[in-house]
Structure 1
Amino acid sequence: MHPTFKILGVAVFASALCVPSARAQYPMGLSSTGPESAFADRKEREARAAGAPYNLKAGPVKFKVGVGIREEFNDNINLTKGDKQESDFISTAHLDLNANWPITKLNTLDFTIGIAYSKYFSHQELDTESLIIKPNSMLDFNVYIGDLRVRLFDTFSIQEDPIDVPQVSGGTAKFRRMENTVGIHGDWDLNKVVLGAGYQYDTFEVLNSSGGTNDPALQGLDHATHIVDGSVAYRVNPSVMTGIRGNVSETEYDSNQQNNSTEESVGLFMEGKITPHISINATVGYQMDEFDRGGSINDNSDFASYVYSASVEHEVNKYYTHRLSVNRYVLLGIGTNYSSLHEVRYGFDWNLIKDLTINGATFYQWLEDSGGGPTSENASRYGFSLGATYPLFRQWNLGMGYDFILKDSNISTNDYLQNRVFLDLTYHF
């Protein structure tokens, strides 16, 4: 283990100033969550325990269950261009389960899982292998002891769609991967000051696929990451908190393709409601990633620069809410040590008429790979989406939408333009 990791890890644990990090395969660096929101969720949990969104009950355990079918047309399933571009119709069956067990008034066990299976009409080799597990799936156990909150959590997913990974393109139609994060953290509320301590363990594994990828670099990404995080938060007022947070982490790969790395980062943050209708969440800091040498990717680059994340949400009225975010963070590389990503996002929800909700989003990303070699990519991605949901009957919801995304890369074979249209019908028990 890197000596810096050992020394900083002991120091952070000793000072009991840790909170969980957001570092997984994507992205690395400072978390946008922490003790500033830990005790704010007491009221949310009490409201949830009152039975608001749950429609089934077994003893003290409340459930929300939905099943549905999604029909989609995708004009570029393999993220390429020209005569190599392929299209298909895709049917996806999905099930979503949420469970809440209020063991006591404040101590709760929450379980969320979404599973799906996709069938391709013309490219059967891309049919889902076993099942897809949606990224929001998790087990979450919260215990409150006086002013101390302890959270045990496990988040897990199995995904196949490569569109969510900015570095992947050039003929890849399937990127089947499993991600799991297990951890513990505690927050100690001292009225004006909140101290946090935590540890989490992330694993990332590329699963065997029968087809759908032309990129051998995707097979050497299996790795594990140990993360120790810390923060001190100050309560400016009942709705706003600010403070300092940092993390140290170490990533080790299973193969010698990618380089192992050690990361240290520290930054300032602010989060909360600055007015009854405007919420902010901002972090700015400095991050250093030191990579080993000797991987077959032949990348000797390290990262040392600023990172930031800032978002604002404005509830204009009961009909319209919109949000804006700007971010710079670092992704673990694919064929390089890392990728630096700048992005801007905007989204809205508009209750146009009774029961009809229109939602939309747009984003711009600028990606820069490390290394500077022939496989290092500089690329931009632009996209937007527009959708609508409407309750057909008491327990049936209809959703429809359109997604567009364009990638422009210095590696011409990585350029693509993709259009999707979909129709989704869901039944809630």
Structure 2
Amino acid sequence: MISTPKRLLARAGGHHHALSVSVSGFLCLSVLFTLMSVDCPAVEALKNSLANQPQNQIQTPSQGALPYTFKSGDFRLLATPSLGLDYNDNVRNSKSDKEDDFILRPLLQLNATQPLSHQNVISLNLGIGYDQYFDHSELSALRLQTGSAVSFDMVVKEVAFNFHDRMSYTRDSSQEAAVANTSDFGNFVNTAGFSVSCSLRKATLSAGYDHQNVVSGKSAFNSQDHASEMFFGRVGFEVNPELQAGFEATTAFTTYDQPTLNDNNVSSVGLFATWQPGRAFRLTPRGGYSFTHFKNTSTTLQTDDLSSYYLDLTMTHDITAAFSYGLSAGHDVRLGVQSDAVEETYVRPNVTWRAFKHASIQFGFSYEHGKQGAGSVGGLTENYDWFGGTIGTSWYILDKLTLGLNYRLTIRSSDVADRGYTQNMVGLLLTYHP
């Protein structure tokens, strides 16, 4: 979900107030224009950078109120272990000759915070586990949860900074809509960078930079290995206390390790808005134009430059304390897997129903229509439809122990022979909450 920076800390009055605005405003503008001097961003860059937007007012709960497994002074560490058991009826995502298996998934989730001052906080979120296949041991692999990150938030006068290093590694081919007939697709992704935001009266300025490395988990997908330099900038205006709107721009430069896919530069420019009439409802539309230039460094693929539009509508609504829903829908162009680019249209609704005091039910659906090989000259292209549905429930069976039951259905259809499949997965999950 894309969030916009909050209003700055309250300013003092009188002449000191005017001086504070002047000095911090100059610093805001200097930092912003320095970062945006590199022809601003790509949709991919914006998604990555906004994941760690700094907040001008760092809100840290009372340390005494934070749950923990270990503490020392202001340091808090929460360790949450879990153990899952899944059954997958099509581990290789194939249309025929399906192979099934049971998978044991131990996981340890670590969450740590170390306040350095009232406004400066270092945080760690790390989920590390292992997927052990019973009959297909060659598929067993380490798992690093998406969302694992080290982050440092800092406020200097009117300017808020965030420094971060996010990482993930998972191998779940059925969750990448562009691939089929494989169980080997999975990448280690490391994204390190910083972002900065500040407010000048009714305007909020933010900018950021990320360096991203993507390394394939299997040699069959080594063509995916690449590095990207990503820049983004945003200027938002407070229309009223409930509505913020403004401009956004990005640029990303991607270089592949192997000459299979083409190095490329992607830029985008567009508009965004955030409407939040209360705590229960939030609506964020975004849209604009993106342009991708392929450098034709590949020895096998030739791809024309791509011009397209991007759209995204993200909504969350807590109707009651027991019932909430969300929606994300849009269109964009992203880096391809077996081609240079994938143009996709997607919709992803979800519902959470806290049916009982100690139990909840979650529903999720995802649909993606994609064109793989968009812009390819003389190469093979593929049009596919990918459906994913989940239903899950969890409840406390003991004071600190929850039991979860989950079902996931994945269906892929394609205009290329034998690249469609159906997969069913059912799982149990035990989680201990200290």
Q: TM-score range by the shorter chain?
A: 0.7 to 0.9
Aligned residues: 402
Deviation at 1:397, TM superposition (A): 1.2
Q: Deviations over 1:373-407 (max 9, x none)?
A: 56321100112110001111222111111000100
Q: Separation in 2 of the partners of 1:16 and 1:267?
A: 17
Identity within the alignment, % = 25
Q: Deviations over 1:295-336 (max 9, x none)?
A: 134232221111011111111111100112211122211232
Which residue is 1:310 aligned to?
313
Contact 1:29 1:265 in 2 (8 A): no
Q: Separation in 2 of the partners of 1:12 and 1:105?
A: 24
Q: Separation in 2 of the partners of 1:16 and 1:334?
A: 30
Q: Separation in 1 of the partners of 2:67 and 2:237?
A: 33
CA distance change for structure 1 residues 192 and 48 in 2, over 3 Å: closer, same or farther? farther
Deviation at 1:159, TM superposition (A): 1.5
Taking structure 2 as the reference length, what is the TM-score of the superposition?
A: 0.87
Deviation at 1:176, TM superposition (A): 3.5
Q: Deviations over 1:65-104 (max 9, x none)?
A: 111110100001101112x211111111111000011111
CA distance change for structure 1 residues 12 and 103 in 2, over 3 Å: closer, same or farther? closer
- Picking from 205, 208, 211, the partner of 1:201 is 211
Paired letter, 2:74: P
CA distance change for structure 1 residues 379 and 39 in 2, over 3 Å: closer, same or farther? same
Which residue is 1:300 aligned to?
303
Which residue is 2:104 aligned to?
91
Moved more, 393-402 or 48-57: 48-57
Paired letter, 2:196: G
Which residue is 1:101 aligned to?
114
Q: Deviations over 1:118-160 (max 9, x none)?
A: 11111111112xx211111000101011210011000011211
Q: Does the residue aligned with 1:229 lie in a helix, a strand or coil?
A: strand
Contact 1:180 1:204 in 2 (8 A): yes
Instruction: Say whether 1:408 aligns with 2:427.
Output: no
Segments of 5+ residues of structure 1 without an aligned counterpart are: 1-10, 210-215
Which residue is 1:344 aligned to?
347
CA distance change for structure 1 residues 409 and 152 in 2, over 3 Å: closer, same or farther? same
Instruction: Say whether 1:418 aligns with 2:423.
Output: yes
CA distance change for structure 1 residues 133 and 146 in 2, over 3 Å: closer, same or farther? same
Q: Separation in 2 of the partners of 1:126 and 1:381?
A: 23
Moved more, 67-76 or 199-208: 199-208
Which residue is 1:323 aligned to?
326
Q: Separation in 1 of the partners of 2:406 and 2:361?
A: 10
Q: Does the residue aligned with 2:261 lie in a helix, a strand or coil?
A: coil
- Picking from 160, 167, 170, the partner of 1:159 is 170
Contact 1:49 1:102 in 2 (8 A): no
Paired letter, 2:33: A
Which residue is 2:80 aligned to?
66
Deviation at 1:174, TM superposition (A): 2.1
Taking structure 1 as the reference length, what is the TM-score of the superposition?
A: 0.88
Matches within 5 A, 1:364-383: 364-369=367-372, 370=374, 371=376, 373=378, 375-383=380-388
Q: Does the residue aligned with 1:235 lie in a helix, a strand or coil?
A: strand
Contact 1:203 1:224 in 2 (8 A): yes
Paired letter, 2:424: N
Instruction: Say whether 1:385 aligns with 2:390.
Output: yes
Contact 2:49 2:208 in 1 (8 A): no
Deviation at 1:354, TM superposition (A): 1.1
Contact 2:41 2:232 in 1 (8 A): no
Matches within 5 A, 1:24-39: 28=44, 30-31=46-47, 34=50, 38-39=54-55
Which residue is 1:117 aligned to?
130
Moved more, 52-61 or 155-164: 52-61
Which residue is 1:137 aligned to?
148
Q: Separation in 1 of the partners of 2:414 and 2:283?
A: 33
Q: Separation in 1 of the partners of 2:62 and 2:291?
A: 40
Q: Does the residue aligned with 1:163 lie in a helix, a strand or coil?
A: helix
Contact 1:333 1:339 in 2 (8 A): yes
Contact 1:74 1:89 in 2 (8 A): yes
Q: Separation in 2 of the partners of 1:37 and 1:138?
A: 13
Segments of 5+ residues of structure 2 without an aligned counterpart are: 1-29
Moved more, 226-235 or 107-116: 226-235
Q: Separation in 1 of the partners of 2:272 and 2:49?
A: 10
CA distance change for structure 1 residues 294 and 183 in 2, over 3 Å: closer, same or farther? closer
CA distance change for structure 1 residues 12 and 417 in 2, over 3 Å: closer, same or farther? farther
